[in-house]
Chains A and B, each alone.
Chain A
């Protein structure tokens, strides 16, 4: 059911930018790209979402390619607390509401 593919794991040096890629080649025109993260033993936490344009908030930036088939989540200055599993999700909207289809995620390890 997952509509996204992500690398299984990545490392990033503390203080550097973490760039997490995601492929969603079958995304439809009205489906949003969401990013959540899950820190060990906690529930998933919302990070950011977008449709076509690049987005930025206090946590991260989201870069979506023009054809919308892939995106990149950027954590500008990674800290040790950013170590988590990052999920790239396609939000499907239907008459039953919005559904979030999680993939297997990328395990990001921030290294001191």
Chain B
């Protein structure tokens, strides 16, 4: 059973396109996150959601719009994709905002050409 699952695993698209990455967790957690890992392997938080409400937006461009239809899902929609958006995007979840541990998905490798 996959705890945190993301789709697709790989995504190649052209500049200017709009794309979405889906994330689902079956752990019963109420807090979900999106992280971006760049080419230098630096992992940086983008958003956190608690009970479907946005808690943190770490200076991410407006082209990135997370959507949480329910506590088990946090999707990431990206408009007008740019070359610099190429990265691996990780979804994660935890129980509560003050949880001691976050569980990560396998990542989505986005390549913008």
Contacts and interface: CB of A to CB of B under 8 A. Distances in A.
Interface of A: 1-2, 32, 41-46, 49, 85, 87, 93, 96-105
Contacts of A101: 45
Interface size classification for chain B:
20 to 34
A41 B106 CA distance: 7
A85 B41 CA distance: 9
Contacts of A1: 44
B95 to A, nearest CB: 11
B42 A104 contact: yes
B31 A2 contact: no
Interface stretch (B11-19, B67-75, B76-84, B97-105): B97-105
A42 B106 contact: yes
A85 B97 CA distance: 26
A87 B98 contact: no
Contacts of B92: 43-44
B48 interface: yes
Contact of B97 (A32, A87, A96): A96
B91 to A, nearest CB: 8
